[in-house]
Amino acid sequence: MTTAREIMTAEMHTVTEDQSLAEAATLMRDHGVGALPVMSGDGSLSGIVTDRDIVVRGVAEGADLATTTVGSVAQGIVSTVGSEEDVDRIVDTMGDQQIKRLPVVDGGRLVGMISESDLARHVSDDKVAHFVQMVYGRG
């Protein structure tokens, strides 16, 4: 059985709810990622901010990217998965919820993220095809 821990990206960068959209965009650029986990003041996972969130909820709305906070545009967490969860359930969860990134937690602490590219690298072609159909194939 392949688990979340085996396919997740453990080295991730995070932002806090009070950091600016400009800071988040710079981190994304510098680390070549399209999303960052958002941490609350108490250190718990509170959401995810994507490059699309910054553009659609920030730039397109005329927000000042230097002063608008990540917390004001971030998506709340729909789902997380435990580090020992089976990859079949992960693919089903991501597909059913039509999400492209899934936080991995262990004992309530964020330990990694699973993205589309993690699935593509570590999961069988038929499971990736199932994920793609669920996320992109719905009308």
CATH code: domain of residue 96: 3.10.580.10
DSSP letter (8 states) at residue 66: T
- pLDDT at position 75 is 83
Tokens found for residue 4: 């979340």
CA–CA separation, 111 and 30 (whole Å): 21
138 confidence band (pLDDT: 50, 70, 90): low
88-117 tens-digit pLDDT: 999 999 988 989 999 999 988 999 999 999
- pLDDT at position 1 is 84
Average pLDDT over all residues of the chain: 92
For the chain, what percent of residues have pLDDT higher than 90?
A: 70
How many structural domains comprise the chain? 1
- Is the pLDDT confidence value at 139 over 90? no
The secondary element (H helix, E strand) that includes residue 16 is strand 15-16
| Structural domain of 113 | 4-136
